[in-house]
Homo-oligomer: A and B are copies of this chain.
């Protein structure tokens, strides 16, 4: 049975995009409940200055806490070397640095040119290499706006490939594809995955981050897992998006993604009823934020079976 990793990005991509600031203790409870539901990777925060994203000011504490949860991969976003230093200090298992393929978006989002981001990547690689190999976090370069940009419009696939290659050369272990703006369509998802794999090797790309801004999120997931992508980002309740891309909002809903994958026979390790308990914790912690998703309202189909299971959840 094929496994797909769901990488929950709600505590980072979700919380950074909303006005409410979730209390640190609530974050811990929420993260623990998602891990208890079977989520094996959670992006718990971002090491950016607190004045830029006060919602994530407690990221170091959250990382330290999340590391105590057995079996959980604790991922964080780091915009630069400084962030990576903080991430290492806190003990993150996985660092992701975003590089916006649209340089206009890069300047607006990270206030850096492509070359400046590459410089940070090289610095982070040097830093990581100082650690013993078994203590080194994995390091991903996320190709954001790679399916199109709200500022520049269409993004050249050749540019995505070229920047992906540069990220690997500068020191990332792998790249990820990120539909920051919700522009992706399934044909494009397939083309980009194939382009990267054919040119940079199969190990160069394992994960994809898709938004549901135009309702295409799960169709794009299908295209990606059909191709062989093994890690899919999503956000509980669909909270979040990218606050710097005007009009872009709405992550893929974790609850609906679990159903898609399990119903198709991909094991995610997630238990839906425990996931609903985690959603209650999220709802209580963010009483002013709308939560999205179809499965929470519609429920699982009668007779639904998890991938590989032979007994129905609901008789």
A: residues with CB less than 8 A from B are: 148-154, 181-183, 185-188, 212-216, 218-219, 221-223, 247, 250, 253, 256, 259-260, 263-265, 293-295, 298-299, 301-303, 312, 315
B183 pairs with A301, CB closer than 8 A: yes
Interface centre among A153, A298, A299 (most CB of B within 10 A): A298
Residue contact A260 to B219, C-beta cutoff 8 Å = yes
The answer on a CB contact under 8 Å between B212 and A299 is no
Asked if B214 and A294 sit within 8 Å, CB to CB, the answer is yes
Name the residue of chain B whose CB is nearest to the CB of A259. B214
- Give the distance in Å from the alpha carbon of A223 to the alpha carbon of B263 in the complex: 14
Q: What residues of B have a CB within 8 angstroms of the CB of A186 in the complex? A: 222, 260, 264
**Residue among A149, A182, A264, A301 with the highest chain B CB neighbour number at 10 A:** A301
Taking each of A148, A149, A152, A219, which has the highest tally of chain B beta carbons within 10 Å of its own beta carbon? Answer: A219
Copies of this protein in the assembly total: 2
Residues of B within 8 A of A223 (CB): 222
**Cα of A151 to Cα of B314 in the assembled complex, Å:** 12
In the bound complex, residues from chain B placing their C-beta under 8 Å from that of A264 are 185-187
**Residue numbers in B under 8 Å from A294 (CB-CB):** 212-216, 250
Q: A187-B265, A264-B186, A298-B247 are in contact. Are A148 and B215 (CB under 8 A)?
A: no
The answer to whether B153 touches A260 (Cβ under 8 A) is no
- A148 / chain B contacts, CB cutoff of 8 Å: 301-303
Q: When the two chains form their complex, are residues B215 and A256 in contact, meaning their CB atoms are under 8 A apart?
A: yes
Question: Given A222-B186, A222-B222, A312-B153, A216–B260 Cβ distance below 8 Å?
Answer: yes
The 7 A-B pairs at the shortest CB distance, nearest first, are namely: A153-B303, A215-B294, A185-B263, A153-B302, A215-B256, A187-B264, A218-B219
Take A185-B264, A247-B298, A264-B186 as given contacts and tell me if A154 and B216 are in contact as well, using a CB distance cutoff of 8 Å. no
